[in-house]
Structure 1
Amino acid sequence: MTSPAAERGREVRQRLLSAAVELIPERGWTAVSTRVLAERAGVTPSVVHYHFASLPALLNEAVVGVMRQMLAELDGFLGAAGTPAEAVDLMLASLNDYSGTDPLSLLFIEAYLTATRDERLREEIAAVVDGFRSRFGRWLSERGVPEAEATAAVLVASIDGLLLHRGLGAQPNLEAVRAVLHRLLT
C-alpha cells in the first residue's frame, strides 16, 4: 500500500513533467524557467528542485518520456502489420497526425535542437531511437528483409526527417515517398 504522501509526490512530479511538455512547444526550450514551470504545474518553485536535480533534468526526463511513448506506438504498428510494407504504410499514415507546427512536433524539434548542446539529452534521445531501430531491425530480419538493421536505420531516419521537414512547410508527395521506402524493403 502506498502512503498518501508518496502518492501526492508522484502526482506533483507528473504535473511538473506534463507542464514541461506543454511549455516547451509554447515558449521554446530556453524560455522555460523554474518559475514558469512551477506556476503552470500549480506548485511553488522550490517544489521543482525537491523533485528534480535541476530544471534541465526535468525537461530532459519529460521529453525523453514522450519520445518513449511515441516509439512504443510505432512498436504497436509492428504488431499490427503483417508485412514490412504494411509497417511502412502505417508509419507513413501516422504522419497525418502531425503538421510540423503542432505541439508534439515542436516538442521534438526543440529537443533535437537542445540535444546539439546538451550531451546528456543527446545520449538519452540516442538510446531511445537506437532501441527502436534495433527492435525494428530484428522485426525486419524475421521477415527476411536484407540488411535489416541498416534498412531499419534508413526507414526510421526517413520518417523522422519527414516530420522535421513538415515544420519547414515541406510536404513531399507521400505516395512517391511510400514507393521509394517500399523499394528499400526488397
Structure 2
Amino acid sequence: MPKDQKALAPRPRGRPPKSDGRATAQRLLEAATSVCVERGFDGTTLPLIAERARVSPSAVYNHFHSREELLYAAAVRALDQITTVALRTGRGERPLQAIAMAYLRPEMRQNRRLIAELHLASRRDARLAALIAQWHQEYAGQFVGMLSGTDPNPKATTKVVFLLLLGLCHFDDVPSIRTPRDAVAERVERLIDALVPGLSDDE
C-alpha cells in the first residue's frame, strides 16, 4: 500500500502493535494462579488478581471476559507447562509416564494446586464446569484415538488415566503419609504401564 494510502487508512481497533498486551496477559495468568492457590476459587476476585498483576481492575477485561475464563486460561497454561516439562525430561519413557512424572515435580506444586482447586470449584460454578468439560472432551477424543485398536475399551482407560492425573494434583494434600517422592513416582509408572502397556513413544 502506498504511503499516502497508509496514512489515510483507518486505525485498527484494539491495542496498538507496540503495547505490552501479551506481557500483561501473562502477568494476569501468573497472578490468577498465585491468588487462586492462596485463597481458593471462592476467595479469588478480579480486583485481587489485578492488584497482584499491577494493573487496574478494568484492564483485566481487555484480555479476559470473566474471572472463570481467566482462571480456566491459567489452568490450561499450567497443563501446558506440565506437558512441556514432560517432553523435555521424558528421556524416551512412554508419554503418559513422562506426563505423570512431570505432575509430581516439586516446581509443579503451584500448578497442581491450581488444577485441583478448579476441578473442585467446577462442581459449584456452571461456567467453569462448561469450560473444563470442553477441555476434557477435546483431549479425551485425542487419547481415545491413540488407544483405538489396542484397547478393548479406550474410553474407560482414558477416564481412569484422567482420574489418576487429577489424583496427582492432590499429592500435597496427604502430608501425614511421609514417603519419598521417587517411591510414589515409581508406583505411578507401574500403574500407567498396567493400564496402557502398548502405548509407547513410537506409536
State the partner residue of 2:159: 153
SS in 2 for 1:30: coil
| Residues 17-50 of structure 1: CA deviation (Å, up to 9, x unaligned) | 2221222112222223333222221222232245
Q: Tell me how far apart the structure 1 counterparts of residues 96 and 62 of structure 2 sit (CA, whole Å).
A: 43
Stretch of structure 1 that moved more, 88-97 or 124-133: 88-97
Note the alpha carbon deviations across 1:151-186, whole angstroms, 9 max, x for none. 222122222223324423366844444434333336
| Aligned CA-pair RMSD | 3.5
2:95 is aligned with 1:87: yes
Structure 1 unmatched runs, 5+: none
Query: Is the CA contact (8 Å cut-off) linking 1:98 and 1:105 kept in structure 2?
Result: no
Separation in structure 1 between the aligned mates of residue 75 and residue 173 of structure 2, nearest angstrom: 18
Give the corresponding residue for 1:19. Answer: 31
Looking at structure 2, the residues matched to 94 and 81 of structure 1 have their Cα atoms a distance apart, in angstroms, of 14
**Structure 1 residue 111: Cα displacement:** 0.8
Q: Distance in 1 between matches of 2:62 and 2:187?
A: 51
Number of residue equivalences: 178
Question: Does structure 2 conserve the Cα–Cα contact (< 8 Å) formed by 1:16 and 1:37?
Answer: yes
Partner of 1:105, secondary structure, is: helix
**Structure number, greater radius of gyration:** 2
SS in 2 for 1:43: coil
Tell me the TM-score normalised to structure 1 length.
0.72
Please list every run of 5 or more consecutive structure 2 residues that lacks an aligned counterpart in the other structure: 1-11, 198-203
Q: Where does 1:154-169 land on structure 2 (aligned, <5 Å)?
A: 154-169=160-175
Change (3 A) 1:35 1:80: same
- 1:1-186 pair list within 5 angstroms: 5-6=16-17, 7-67=19-79, 69-70=80-81, 73=84, 76=87, 86-98=94-106, 102-141=109-148, 144-169=150-175, 173-185=184-196
Q: Which amino acid aligns with 2:16?
A: A
Structure 1's 11 and 49: CA in aligned 2 closer, same or farther, altered over 3 A?
same
| Structure in which a larger fraction of residues adopt helix | 1
Q: 1:148 to 1:35 in 2, by over 3 A?
A: closer
TM-score, scaled relative to structure 2:
0.67
Q: Cα distance 1:14–1:96, how it changes in 2: closer, same or farther (>3 A)?
A: closer
